Amino acid sequence: MPALPIADGFWGAVHNTPLIRLQRASEETGCEILGKAEFMNPGGSVKDRAALGILQDAVEQGLLVPGQPGTVVEGTAGNTGIGLALAANARGWRSVIVVPETQSREKLDFLRMIGADLRPVPAKPYADPGNYVHVSRRLAEEMQAAGGRTIWANQFDNLANRRAHEQYTGREIWEQTEGRVDAFTCACGTGGTLAGVALALKARNDRVRIVLADPEGSALAPWVKAGTVKATPGNSITEGIGQAARVPGNLEGAPIDSAETIPDAEALQWVFSLLVEEGLSVGGSAGLNVAAAVRVAKALGPGHTVATILCDGGARYQSKLFNPEFLRSKGLPVPHWLA
């Protein structure tokens, strides 16, 4: 394996993650199923890429200046907040992070640990002014009105998010597979990963199949199929993915060919299999992405290459996905080594 060059701090260490051949998924399908190890970014998730892209863009626009006082405000399911807070620490800025209190305790504890000014809020639908996205926007506006350099990262509609994935994640997958990738599957929170990778791969080969992976109870897969958004009651145990009632700006116009809705039990089966059979500890969205990759590979037939995203690590969900009581409360099977 070629050694990577020396990196400068958090800002230099994001990107260039390994692409891992997933053995069981590959054997089951006769295809090559590849997972991009995003849990190996310095903040532990795929969202480090978006966080860095958004802050680099803010610096280029002169909205934040390295080493001078500044504040980053964002509403997040947790991972973007972790990336933003760490990147902000490395430049001497503060971070104010608004998170729905339903997100895993591990993510909230980690945000506190790394010095984010954490503002947990009750989970509310997007149409409610108390939704975490609106709370974070208003906070940023109030701080801007009071003076000082403050940005609202606005990961859902700020296209610096998907540009980071177009310039890095997508290009990396193309180069690591030496152009033999046939399909790519990915779940969406903001849609930055899916849209950015889709744009990068389609620009190099327009026959690469792009498939949205969606949790049950999300409106995005029905939107891909029917072209309209019908509000749904999101009820998956996965975090950071699916949308109940809207298509974020980063997802609009993305070249998506089809969509797969994946039940939690099918996603979890891959979370557990990757852990105990391959030594890869991942979170729920990664399991859902692999489940979709397996479905797509089976439909394509043997001999194809399907890439997907291993968004973050399992330790972030110890109290939920790996907690027998939680699993039982959701009617989900408890794996034998946890029971």
Active site residues: 47
Q: How far is the CB of 191 from ligand PMP (least distance, A)?
A: 5
103 binds ligand PMP (CB under 6 A): no
- Determine the 3-state secondary structure of 20 from DSSP: strand
DSSP-derived secondary structure for 83-127: HHHHHHHTTT-EEEEEEETTS-HHHHHHHHHTT-EEEEE----TT
Packed helices 105-113 and 79-89: angle between N→C axes, nearest 10 degrees: 10
Q: How far apart are CA 70 and CA 58, in angstroms?
A: 11
77 binds ligand PMP (CB under 6 A): yes
For 68, other C-beta atoms within 10 Å of its C-beta total: 10
86 binds ligand PMP (CB under 6 A): no
274 binds ligand PMP (CB under 6 A): no
Instruction: Give the per-residue contact string, 117-136, with ligand PMP (x = CB under 6 A; - = no).
Output: --------------------
Return the residue of 191, 215, 287, 313 that touches ligand PMP, per CB under 6 A.
Answer: 191
116 binds ligand PMP (CB under 6 A): no
Q: Of 68, 61, 75, whose CA–CA distance to 152 is shortest?
A: 75
163 binds ligand PMP (CB under 6 A): no
- Determine the 3-state secondary structure of 173 from DSSP: helix
User: Using an 8 Å Cβ cutoff, are 174 and 201 in contact?
Assistant: yes
Q: Of 50, 56, 106, 124, whose CA–CA distance to 83 is shortest?
A: 50
DSSP 252: T
Q: How far is the CB of 30 from ligand PMP (least distance, A)?
A: 27
Q: What are phi and psi of 95, to 5 degrees?
A: -130, 135
Return the residue of 311, 320, 321, 327 that touches ligand PMP, per CB under 6 A.
Answer: 311
Closer to ligand PMP by CB, 304 or 320: give it.
Answer: 320
Closer to ligand PMP by CB, 193 or 305: give it.
Answer: 193
81 binds ligand PMP (CB under 6 A): no
47 binds ligand PMP (CB under 6 A): yes
Closer to ligand PMP by CB, 264 or 312: give it.
Answer: 312
Return the residue of 57, 182, 266, 312 that touches ligand PMP, per CB under 6 A.
Answer: 312
Closer to ligand PMP by CB, 150 or 238: give it.
Answer: 238
Is residue 260 within a helix (H) or strand (E), and if so which, with residue range? strand 258-262
CB neighbour list of residue 159: distance below 8 Å, 6 or more residues apart = 249, 250
Closer to ligand PMP by CB, 56 or 144: give it.
Answer: 56
Q: How far is the CB of 25 from ligand PMP (least distance, A)?
A: 18
283 binds ligand PMP (CB under 6 A): yes
Q: How far is the CB of 339 from ligand PMP (least distance, A)?
A: 25
- Determine the residue with CB nearest ligand PMP: 240
* Size, binding site for ligand PMP by CB under 6 A: 19
User: Using an 8 Å Cβ cutoff, are 50 and 165 in contact?
Assistant: yes
Instruction: Give the per-residue contact string, 215-244, with ligand PMP (x = CB under 6 A; - = no).
Output: ------------------------xxx---
Is residue 21 within a helix (H) or strand (E), and if so which, with residue range? strand 19-21
Return the residue of 81, 192, 249, 314 that touches ligand PMP, per CB under 6 A.
Answer: 192
Closer to ligand PMP by CB, 34 or 143: give it.
Answer: 34
For the chain, the first-to-last Cα distance in angstroms comes to 39
Q: How far apart are CA 55 and CA 160, in angstroms?
A: 9
For the chain, the residue count is 339
168-187 positions binding ligand PMP, by CB under 6 A: 187
Is residue 259 within a helix (H) or strand (E), and if so which, with residue range? strand 258-262
Residues that bind ligand PMP (CB under 6 A): 45-47, 77, 79, 187-193, 239-241, 283, 285, 311-312
